[in-house]
Amino acid sequence: MGQEGTRRVRYAGRGRLIAVCAVLTAVLLAFPRVVPNSLVRAGSLLESFLPWLGPALVVLLVLALVRRSPVALVALLLPVAAWTDRFGGLLLPASGERDLLVVQHNVGDTNADPVGTARVLVGAGPDLVALQELVPRALPAYRRTLGPALPHHAVRGTVGLWSRYPLSDVRVLDIRPRGITGPWSRGLRAVAHTPHGDVAVHVAHLPSVRLRASGFASALRDESAAALGQAVEAEEQETVLLLGDLNGSVDDRGLDPLTSRLEEAERGFAPSFPAALPLVRIDQVMARSATVGHIATLPATGSDHLPVVARITLG
């Protein structure tokens, strides 16, 4: 075989490798649950960062162009189609329609500027604001700054809800996993009496997850999500809004008890964590008998999360 023939064989081989990577990426995008969750919860870890397989396609495209491989370029159509089908709709522009504007924010228990944080939140003009990691020393600042625009509020444990409209039937949501002992209150439920009808608002902060040598530690989060899903199922109000730091993306199978019962945002990516380099949206706004038309982030506060703001259409 001559030198030119050897070069063609080498290029064809490299092209095949890129094509195989493209097909595998397409499979992961279309069927992420082929990755098991039984041992190290690798499936949940993959699903948490699933949208980031999009930039990986750009790398594969560059390699395919460098190798001048038609096989690889054709194979790349598969993951591009899979990514577009799964996430492309989130890129579409939002409509201006809304009945409610809601803000969700984990304000951070070490936040040194609660007043500045509250000003960012109220500056969005929301009807409802849900907060997590409220600590006693910061609570007066939030009450004072949010109160003029959102005069109705309820706090249970470390979570709170501020509302433009009256609240009633406030109670604690018991979402504590069995493995957590001691004081732990991270859920509340209230009915907001809006001009568009009564809405049950659930505010929650699920346990954190950790990436360890033993795998993706999400068992406590998953157990708490199951308890929260049962509370949603038992909710007597037809319209339900869930605002919370769920410590998981809506693609993560660990949040199935919620995503199977509630609708997620139709538009917008809004990665909210970590605030310094947002990689994933773990702050969620979800609904039953209502539409979350668009979700976006607000400017950074003193928290390690970014606030998210969502447009809600009721009915």
pTM above the 0.85 mark? yes
pLDDT tens for each residue of 190-207: 999 999 999 999 999 999
Residue 286 has pLDDT above 80, yes or no: yes
More confident residue, 213 or 200: 200
Which pLDDT belongs to residue 180? Answer: 87
d(CA 152, CA 313): 21
Which pLDDT belongs to residue 213? Answer: 73
Residue 39 has pLDDT above 90, yes or no: no
**Residue found under tokens 């769920």:** 246
Residue 3 has pLDDT above 60, yes or no: no
Q: Quick one: average pLDDT of 175-188?
A: 91
Q: Tokens standing for 278? A: 């947002």
Residue 175 has pLDDT above 60, yes or no: yes
pLDDT tens for each residue of 52-106: 999 999 999 999 999 888 999 999 999 999 999 999 999 998 877 889 999 999 9
Question: Alpha helices of 68-152 — where are they, by DSSP H?
Answer: 70-75, 77-87, 114-122, 139-146
Inter-CA distances, 36 with 22, 30, 43, 126, Å? 21, 15, 5, 40
d(CA 299, CA 119): 11
Beta partners for 314? Answer: 290
Give the pairing of strands 215-217 and 210-212.
antiparallel
Which pLDDT belongs to residue 260? Answer: 97
Lowest mean pLDDT among 36-40, 58-62, 281-285: 36-40
What one-letter code names the amino acid at 73?
A: L
- Average per-residue pLDDT in the chain? 93
Which pLDDT belongs to residue 181? Answer: 83
Which pLDDT belongs to residue 13? Answer: 60
**CB neighbours of residue 127 within 10 Å:** 22
The residues, any chain, with a CB within 8 Å of residue 262's CB and separated by 6 or more, are 232, 240, 242, 286, 287, 288
Which pLDDT belongs to residue 7? Answer: 56
Which pLDDT belongs to residue 1? Answer: 53
Backbone angles phi, psi at 103, to 5 degrees: -125, 135
pLDDT-derived band at 183 (thresholds 50, 70, 90) equals confident
% of the chain surpassing 90 pLDDT = 86
pLDDT-derived band at 257 (thresholds 50, 70, 90) equals very high
The residues, any chain, with a CB within 8 Å of residue 155's CB and separated by 6 or more, are 134, 139, 161, 188
d(CA 273, CA 47): 15
pLDDT-derived band at 212 (thresholds 50, 70, 90) equals confident
